[in-house]
């Protein structure tokens, strides 16, 4: 199961995302569900780093991607648009593949 958690801060702004696990929809290298989720989160990372120029705190290795961005950037509409789009897309995948992907929201991070 791939679990993607979107964290919001105390002001209800997206503050970080954590993806852990594998979707397990198909064999390694053939799992289009896992690949889709990974591509979406990688695109969000690239957008935040390259388009917006944010210094992200990032951890990435096999089965794990964690991103967080500075509190000072959370009101930037570009940041909000990028991460909210990633959240919507991951939620859609989770609805289509509920046995393989779980989207979670947490507040207070």
pTM value is 0.93
Across 59-70, average pLDDT? 94
What is the token pair recorded at 48? Answer: 């935040």
Residue 63 pLDDT exceeds 70: yes
The domains of the chain, with CATH numbers, are 2-107 (3.30.70.1490)
Residue 38 pLDDT exceeds 80: yes
Q: 36's torsion region: left (phi>0), alpha (psi -120 to 50) or beta?
A: alpha
Of 11-15, 25-29, 72-76, the poorest mean pLDDT is in 25-29
Contact 56, 68 (CB under 8 A): yes
Please tell me the predicted confidence (pLDDT) of residue 28: 82
* Strands (E) located in 9-107: 14-20, 57-61, 64-68, 101-107
Contact 7, 106 (CB under 8 A): yes
pLDDT > 90 in the chain, percent: 91
pLDDT > 70 in the chain, percent: 98
Please tell me the predicted confidence (pLDDT) of residue 27: 86
Please tell me the predicted confidence (pLDDT) of residue 109: 56
């Amino acid at each position: 199961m791939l679990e993607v958690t979107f964290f919001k801060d105390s002001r209800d702004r997206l503050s970080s995302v954590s993806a852990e696990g594998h979707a397990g929809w198909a064999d390694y290298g053939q799992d289009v569900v896992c690949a889709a989720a990974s591509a979406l989160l990688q695109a969000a990372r690239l957008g935040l780093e390259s388009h917006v120029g944010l210094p992200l705190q990032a951890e990435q290795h096999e089965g794990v991607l964690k991103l967080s961005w500075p509190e000072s950037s959370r009101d930037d509409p570009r940041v909000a648009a990028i991460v909210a789009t990633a959240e919507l897309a991951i939620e859609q995948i989770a609805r289509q593949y509920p046995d393989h992907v779980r989207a979670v929201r947490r507040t207070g991070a």
